[in-house]
Amino acid sequence: METVFTYYGHATLGLHTAETKLIIDPWFSGNPWVKFSAEDVNADYLLVTHAHGDHLGDTVAIAKRTDATVISNFEICEWLGEQGIKTHSMHLGGDFQFPFGQVKLTTAMHGSSFPDKSYGGNPVGFLITTLHGKKIYLAGDTGLFGDMALIGREGLDLAIIPIGGNYTMGPDDALEAVKLLAPKQVVPIHYNTFEVIKQDPHTWAARVSAETNSEPVVLKPGETVVL
């Protein structure tokens, strides 16, 4: 049973596992990276790390069209529920067994606010364990934090981490994150979308290869990794 990870661009991601389609942080409209529109994608579940516009994105439109369930923190789920969206609210450290596998919410060192500037709850990452035992860590927007070592003890098959700097970890801290997480493979995201987060992912990947045992995988929008 394969799990297919898709990089749509920026921090918009896809997982197709156990015949279930997941979209993470579905920002398609106005995203200069993505080659797809919000109308092109289907989803059974939408996972939202925090309420900023480049992550909450097209959640409402996609959820209404596909009848997908949104998994996120309590505050985001309450906000979406008021708009008639199906949700499953969780919070930091909580885990739940879904039909496609287990989801645990992890710490993310960031902020979270809705388009009207109201509070969007704690930002989160997601640790997903698929039905065939693959462990995937979606860090979300975050700075480096020491407890990534605890997440790494899970034995990660794939880690998805930001490298852009300014709003999240930059290349140096992202390299330290790889050392703490020790995933088999790591994909950099959240870079080059805006001038202020411009980075060279290939230079970073070369450092990962030289200094860790993890395999860096730099993806273009639309490309995939099969686990």
Closest CA to 24 of 83, 117, 81, 100: 100
pLDDT digits (tens, 9 = 90+) for 81-114: 999 999 999 999 999 999 999 999 999 999 999 9
Rounded to two decimals, what is the model's pTM?
0.97
Residue reference for tokens 């990452």 = 125
Residues 144, 173: Cα–Cα separation, whole Å: 6
pLDDT at 37: 87
Average of pLDDT values for 37-51? 95
In the chain, pLDDT over 70 holds for what percent of residues?
100
pLDDT digits (tens, 9 = 90+) for 137-174: 999 999 999 999 999 999 999 999 999 999 999 999 99
Q: What is the 3-state secondary structure (H, E, C) of 2-37?
A: CEEEEEEECCEEEEEECCEEEEECCCCCCCCCCCCC
pLDDT digits (tens, 9 = 90+) for 112-128: 999 899 999 999 999 99
Residue 46: beta bridge partners?
23, 70
Q: What is the DSSP letter of 132?
A: T
